[in-house]
Structure 1
Amino acid sequence: MSFSFFKPSRPKSPQELVKAIKNSLMALDSKTVAEVQSLKKALEEVEKNFVTLKLMLCGDGEVEPNMDQVSQLTLEICKEDVLPLLIHKLPILGWEGRKDLVHCWSMLLKQKFGSTCCCVEYLENHSELLDFLVVCYDNKEIALNCGNMLRECIKLPTLAKYILESPSFELFFKYVELPNFDVASDAFSTFKDLLTKHETAVSEFLTAHYDEFFEQYEKLLTSSNYVTRRQSLKLISEFLLESPNSHIMKRYIVEVRYLKVMMTLLKDSSKNIQISAFHIFKVFVANPNKPREIKVILAKNHERLLDLLQNLSPGKGADDDQFEEEKELIIKEIDRVSRMPNLE
């Protein structure tokens, strides 16, 4: 009596697995009620294939992945145009399928052969997929999954540069203020990575798009939403104070409109925002090459500014001595400017 039908099935080769993933993803096109059952089966098939994909890419904790298989798998995924399917079918997948997909996506972008990764090259040549991931923030069901996938892409300089320079980048100014707190926070994490991960690309972007960018950014700094104001203020300190952006900082601190924004934030009801605003405001004041317009604003408002600064103290855990020293220098400089003749 034979029990051969109990034998475990032969593991799929990378080519067979990629073909199975592609077929199961393409089977998710069911749209009518009559096809719901077949859609359910197709989803089960996709999830099963993703589990196998994850095992092949990462191993199972006991057995390490076979790197020859991983290489073949990654090449096949690119050759068979599976990456667009992974992205476009994301909204149809269940929670478990999305979780596995995000994990596999991260692994696929790390696979290098020599100095290149075929998945990264594929995305460089199909950059519309990056734009699709950005606009997925509009779909709160998959926004967090897409955010994770985007941040994996942003680790790569070429992909980050593309997103920065794409028209879809402007959408982040809307997404960081979405009413859903989790989605808005995730969008802000991605926005922050775009502006801090690759100094050279960011510096080039800010140089080329200075006016449009800071005009939009001003709206975040003056938002009625406390979290938006606080996060944007903290972030602008981070990227403006980077040495490759020193020329951007020099340009920013001679503009009256941005000085006024910082002066308004110094009066914010939140102590945290006041302190963060002070650290940018002090650069406007300490600038040895202040234009006359900046001096005029400081002189006109010197009494209110001195009053605000006298009452400003650092938060817990801050370096009190350094803060007080900086504050004293800024107070002296404002006082000095206010005594200058011909500033009326």
Structure 2
Amino acid sequence: MSFSFFKQSRPKTPQELAKAVKDSLTALDSKTVAEVKALEKALEEVEKNIVTMRTMLSGDGEIEPSADQVAQLTLEICNEDVISLLFHKLPTLGWETRKNLVHCWSILLKQKVDSVFCCAQYMENHLELLDFLVVCYDNKEIALTCGHMLRECIKLPTLANLLKLYYSRSNFRYILESPSFGLFFKFVELPNFDIASDAFSTFKDLLTKHATAVSEFLTTHYNEFFEQYEKLLTSANYVTRRQSLKLLSEFLLESPNSNIMKRYIAEVRHLKVMMTLLKDSSKNIQVSAFHIFKVFVANPNKPRDIKVILAKNNEKLLALLHSLSAGKGAEDDQFEEEKELIIKEIERVSRLPNLQS
């Protein structure tokens, strides 16, 4: 008696799997909502192929992935133009399939084939896919998936060429002068808290993961950027104000941004924002604002306009500072020392002649 019909089918090769993924995704185009069963079957085929791809890339818990197969699959995914299909079919795919796809994407991006990061190079040649990931924050069904995939692109130092898309003078304009980058100022205040938080995480990565590149961007686009950023600092949304203030101190204090910091603390409009935040109803925001405000005051090369503002508002500022405390044990001691120095400097500036006029 033959039991050959119990034999498992032969596992797909990387080439076969890449083609199967492409074919199943393409098949979704021919299915409509009116053909519910046909669409469900097509989605099941996609899901099965994505699961197989995840297993080939990361193993199944018992068997480790083959480095050769992973490299070959990565190459075939790029050569077969599967990445673009995967991105554009995200709205159609189910939650579990999208979750598996995010896992696959984080692995694929790190793969080098013949000294080339294939997926990074593919993205560099298909810049519109980055636009797609950004604008998908407006689609609550796939916003978190796209945010995760976008951050995977941002965080890898190996994607230096790709990151020029966001930051360099020559390539950054693609994002900055299209609606995409500016949309982050909107997305971080979306009413859906989870999506807004995710958008802020991506925004933060853009501004903190590659400090030198960010410095070049901020130098080139200083006025446009900080005009938009001020709206976040003065937002009616408490979470937006607090996160934006914390992020501002992070990227301004990066050493490559020292010239940006010097420029920032020389401008009265920025000082006024910090003075307003010192009066915020939230103690956390008051304390965070103090850590930026103190840089304006401690600056040994304060412009006259800054000194004038400090002198004219010295009584209100001193009252605010005297009532402000960090209240965190050892950290409170350092805070009080810094606060005392700032109080003394404001008092000194207030005594300077010709500043009250």
Distance 2:31 2:49 in 1: 22
Q: Name the residue aligned to 1:336.
A: 348
Contact 1:300–1:338 (Cα < 8 Å) also in 2: yes
**Cα pair 1:272 1:315 within 8 Å, conserved:** no
* Partner deviation per Cα, 1:8-37 (whole Å, 9 max, x = no partner): 000000000000000000111145343221
Say what the alpha-carbon RMSD is for the aligned residues.
1.1
Identify the residue that residue 192 of structure 1 maps to in structure 2.
204
Give the TM-score taking structure 1 as reference length. 0.98
| Paired residues of 2:32 and 2:39 also in contact (CA < 8 A) | no
Match of 2:60? 60
Query: Paired residue for 1:303?
Result: 315
Look up the SS of the partner of 2:113 in the other structure: coil
Are the aligned partners of 1:133 and 1:147 in contact in 2 as well (CA < 8 Å)? yes
Q: Deviations over 1:285-340 (max 9, x none)?
A: 01111111101100000000000000110143561221111111100110011111
Partner of 2:32: 32
Q: Deviations over 1:34-93 (max 9, x none)?
A: 322111111000000011100100011221111111111000011000000010000000
- The residue that corresponds to 2:90 in the other structure is 90
Pair 1:119-2:131 in alignment: no
What corresponds to 1:263 in structure 2?
275
Q: Does 1:157 align with 2:155?
A: no
SS in 1 for 2:34: helix
Of the candidates 241, 247, 250, which is equivalent to residue 235 of structure 1? 247
Q: Which one of the candidate residues 177, 189, 193 is aligned to 1:181? A: 193
Matched, 1:101 2:101: yes
CA contact (8 A) 1:266 1:275 kept: yes
**Contact persistence 1:195–1:239 (CA under 8 A):** yes
Q: CA deviation at 1:261?
A: 0.1
SS in 1 for 2:190: coil
Shift of 1:169: 0.9
What TM-score, normalized by structure 2, do the two folds share? 0.94
CA 1:271/1:137 → structure 2, altered by over 3 Å: closer, same or farther? Answer: same
> How does 1:200-239 map onto structure 2 within 5 Å?
200-239=212-251
Amino acid at match of 1:188: F
Shift of 1:3: 2.2
CA 1:31 to 1:42, structure 2 compared with 1: closer, same or farther past 3 Å?
A: closer
Q: Is the 8 A contact 1:157 1:198 kept in 2?
A: no
Task: Give the stretch that moved more between structures: 319-328 or 274-283.
Answer: 319-328
SS at match of 2:91: helix
* DSSP-derived class of the 1:322 partner: helix
Q: Is the 8 A contact 2:50 2:101 kept in 1?
A: yes
Contact 2:277 / 2:286 at 8 angstroms: preserved in 1?
yes
Question: Within 2, Cα distance between the matches of 1:40 and 1:330?
Answer: 66
| Structure 1 residue identity aligned to 2:127 | S
Q: Determine if contact 1:254/1:291 at 8 Å carries over to the other structure.
A: yes
2:31–2:38: 8 Å Cα contact kept in structure 1? no
Retained in 1: the 8 A contact 2:47–2:97?
Answer: yes
CA contact under 8 A between 2:121 and 2:162: conserved in structure 1? no
> What is the alpha-carbon distance in structure 1 between the residues aligned to residue 288 and residue 324 of structure 2?
11
- 1:28, 1:39 within 8 Å by CA — same for their partners in 2? yes
In structure 2, list runs of 5 or more residues that go unmatched. none
- Cα distance, 1:191 vs structure 2: 0.3
Tell me: CA distance 1:317–1:19, structure 2 relative to 1, closer, same or farther (3 Å): farther
